[in-house]
Amino acid sequence: MKKFLLSAIMIAVIAVIVNLPQTAIAQVFGEFNNITLVENKPYDEFTDGTVIPASAFSLGPNFNETNKKDGYYRVNLGFDFEFNGEIFNQAWISVNGYITLSPPPYLPSPNPQALFLDANSYPTNVVAPFWGDHYYRDETDFFTNGYVVSEISYKTISEFDSTGVERKVFIVQWKDLNINYRLDDEDVKSSVANFQVRLYESYDEYSKQGDIEFAYGSIGPRNRPDITDTRVITRGAVAGIKGEGKIVGEGADFLNGLLFDQDIELASTRTDVTQNWQPSTGSDKRILFTASIRFNVAEWWGDGDVDFSKAIGNKHYNMPQSRFVTVNDVRLILKSVATGIPLDPVRRRAAYHGDVNHNGRYYYNTAGEKVNITRRSKVFTDDLPNEISSIKQVLFEANEYDAAWILRYIGARIVELPWLLDTSVNYGKLAAEEHANHIKLGNITYLGNGSVQLPIYLNGTLNQALGIRFNVNADILDVIKYESDATNIMVMSNANTIVLSGDGKFSNTDPVLILTLRLTDADLNLTNIRFNDNEVGDLNLVVNTIEKGEATALTLSNTPNPFAENTLINVNIAQSGNYSLSVYDLQGNLVKEIFNEDLTADVHSYMWNGSDMNGKNVANGVYIYKLRGSGVNVSETMILNR
């Protein structure tokens, strides 16, 4: 007989996270694990790069007129670099302290607030170490007005990391750039700065997405004693990265690099701008965006690896599916459903891998409405509606039914994931109406102090994966999963939501869950019930307030009764003391002592699995269970019918 987990996992969620908007998250948000400050890494100014003359910077569409204030210059990266779900091998360097991996807009973009805004006139797929209103000064500016000569250059190098692994690095350097050059209608010659951006080639053989690093050097004129002005305008610029706009909602898709060493959630929402130099707090410190592990292989849609344990450097790297698919993948899906915080929906991320039955694709139409793609295709790009113009519009979700199929795979009842066939279930000669398609409520047990116990059954038999989600209008005190040798169940709950994933052979005579609830209403309502991916309506139970009021004294009951595998015996103790609970047959012979211990005045629950003192299964029949202690001697009967 299986060992029972009497209490399901109750998730405590920080209020800040719970209150986040429940929309698809921005894409760059999911592409980086964190933003950290790398210390003891001094600014490394180079002199061997390719210098781009100021006259080469220009604006579209023709890029044929010099623009030293807002112009761009296109260069090759020297390797493939993935960003925002696309792979790039070129970049446009902007005078204004950033690079864009997508072709830039034709209009000037000196406003650093564009990092946080989404509009056609603003650049997208931006990597910005110091985005502001800058000016590229050349020799003409020096000879005519005495400006410090700027230099923008780039290079791609190969370097070895601390472990001896070689990778390429693309570096752009803004040297002595006239930053935020205009103040009170006056050009500030002394406002010059030095900074770099570095794009690192990915280590991951399955993804081209690498790390990004910002480095900052000195400010102010160097070797220019003739410039006595000491003003350097470092305020008001931004440092961060930006994608192509949020999938849902307003605002840009960005990560603010100034929010390093903090919760990355803040970096996706806060619009802090630079104040002092260096933005990294020192020339020996760098801001690092660490790329998340991704799997850029379309065939891995629905492989079950929600936690990316098969990725390079992780626990199950280079191992078969039977190793990298684990119960932790189930837990992550259940947690996302219970908390209402969905898994990352962008392709190749958590939900993409968790959608094991390939029915979790969706998109948002032009009206902002969510549209599910119900056809279960083998490849995620197949069978897409005509209004989808880019595969980046296709998002993914995984729920408790996907988690149930993962459990079924772990239990060796299906041979692989994803599972697209509908032939794994064999019902034999059962009539169609006996197949479970909903849950049903059992008899309520009043435990006193406003608490009740409610068993949840299936309305028929089921021999396959089982996924259930519902809300209840009561305080959830406990959730007990009811397992047998033929079933495997995992449960999570949070606030008023209960989620179950299971697999095996389920009957309609044994409950799958036993809920302990504190009533908050005269009617008990189970709402938003989803059964194996189908929304099946609500259930209602009228609470008997008279019985509820009388249940404040000592009570003894068991659920279910009759039972086939296990039954939960509930004891409501009115007075603290020493008590014992034992099971007897009808001849008065002791079958099993359940407990003998001190109990506080409260409701206590104990599971009996129909075994005797030696662990052997007892015969079917009627059994008596007795509670003794502190002047109490009460008994009830229960029926075992395997």
**Predicted confidence band of residue 550 (pLDDT cuts 50, 70, 90):** very low
Residue 488 scores a pLDDT above 90: yes
Q: Among 262, 291, 320, where does a domain finish?
A: 291
Neighbours of 227 (CB within 10 A): 14
pLDDT on residue 328: 96
Domain annotation covers residue 14: no
The closest alpha carbon to 84, from 364, 363, 289, belongs to 289
pLDDT in tens, 104-126: 999 999 999 999 988 888 999 99
Evaluate whether 281 touches 259 at the Cβ level (below 8 Å): no
Is residue 396 domain-resident?
Answer: no
pLDDT at 38: 97
Q: Both 192 and 85 in a single domain? A: yes
The CATH number linked to 592 is: 2.60.40.1930
pLDDT at 186: 93
- Do 224 and 309 sit in the same domain of this protein? no
More confident residue, 406 or 298: 406
Residues 206 and 87 in one domain: yes
On whether both 286 and 305 belong to a single domain, the answer is: no
Tens digit of pLDDT for each residue in 345-361?
A: 888 888 999 999 999 99
Q: Please list, in sequence order, all residues whose beta carbon lies within 8 angstroms of the beta carbon of residue 609, skipping any fewer than 6 positions away.
A: 1, 4, 565, 566
pLDDT for 561 equals 83
Distances (CA, A) of 329 to 51, 337, 413, 565: 49, 13, 17, 28
Query: Cα 534 to the chain's mean position, in Å?
Result: 23
Chain centroid to CA 230: 48
Of 357, 379, 410, which residue sits at a domain end? 410
Does residue 470 carry a pLDDT above 60? Answer: yes
Cα 528 to Cα 471: distance, rounded to the nearest angstrom: 6
Instruction: Tell me the β-bridge partners of 462.
Output: 506
Rounded Cα–Cα distance for residues 318 and 314 (Å): 9
| 513-537: average pLDDT | 92
| Nearest CA among 403, 406, 430, 425 for reference residue 417 | 406
pLDDT value of position 20: 30
Give the pLDDT mean for 472-499: 92
pLDDT reported for residue 285: 97
What average pLDDT does range 420-424 have in this prediction?
59
Domain span at residue 533? 425-545
The pLDDT of residue 1: 36
| 580 and 485 part of one domain | no
In a domain, 314, yes or no: yes
pLDDT score of 451: 83
pLDDT per position as a tens digit, 552-583: 456 788 888 888 888 888 888 878 889 999 99
pLDDT at position 302 is 94
pLDDT exceeds cutoff 90 at 401: yes
Q: How far is CA 642 from the centre of its chain?
A: 42
Domain membership of residue 420 (yes or no) is: no
pLDDT band at 26 (very low <50, low <70, confident <90, very high): very low
pLDDT tier for residue 33 given thresholds of 50, 70 and 90: confident
Q: Quick one: pLDDT at residue 554?
A: 66
Comparing CA positions, the residue from 502, 439, 497, 491 lying closest to residue 466 is: 502
Orientation angle between helical segments 400-410 and 327-339, nearest 10 degrees: 170
Q: Count the residues in the chain.
A: 642
Q: Which residues pair with 481 in a beta bridge?
A: 513
Per-residue tokens: 150: 């700027």
Residue with the larger pLDDT of the pair 85 and 58: 58
Average pLDDT score, the chain: 87
User: 50 pLDDT exceeds 90?
Assistant: yes
For residues 532 and 585, membership in a common domain is answered with: no
**Which of 291, 312, 327 is the last residue before a domain boundary?**
291
Domain co-membership, 496 together with 609: no
User: What is the number of structural domains in the chain?
Assistant: 4
Least confident of 117-126, 183-192, 243-252: 243-252
Per-residue model confidence as pLDDT tens digits over 7-23: 333 443 332 223 333 33
Q: How confident is the model at residue 292 (pLDDT cuts 50, 70, 90)?
A: confident
**Residue 415 belongs to some domain of the structure:** no
Check pLDDT > 50 for residue 525. yes
Tell me: do 167 and 69 sit in the same domain: yes
Residue 40 pLDDT exceeds 60 = yes
Same domain, 487 and 611: no
Tell me how crowded residue 594 is: count the other CB atoms within 10 A of its CB.
17
Lowest mean pLDDT segment, chosen from 416-425, 485-494, 630-639: 416-425
Percentage of residues of the chain with pLDDT beyond 90: 56
Q: What number is the average pLDDT over the span 297-313? A: 83
For 448-459, write each residue's pLDDT tens digit: 777 888 899 999
Domain-located, residue 513 = yes
> Is pLDDT at 239 greater than 70 in this prediction?
yes
Q: Is residue 597 part of a domain?
A: yes
Q: Is the domain of 207 the same as that of 107? A: yes
Decide if 618 is inside a domain. Answer: yes
Pair (260, 170) in one structural domain:
yes
- Is the confidence at residue 434, as pLDDT, over 80? no
Whether residue 223 is found in the same domain as residue 329: no
One-character DSSP codes across 457-473: EESSBEEEEEEEEEEES
pLDDT at 410: 95
Distance set, CA 271 to CA 100, 127, 255 (Å) = 20, 16, 9
Q: What is the pLDDT of residues 270-289, one digit of tens each?
A: 999 999 999 999 999 999 99
Q: Which of 225, 194, 240, 259 is nearest to 46 (CA)?
A: 194
Closest CA to 209 of 101, 295, 289, 291: 291
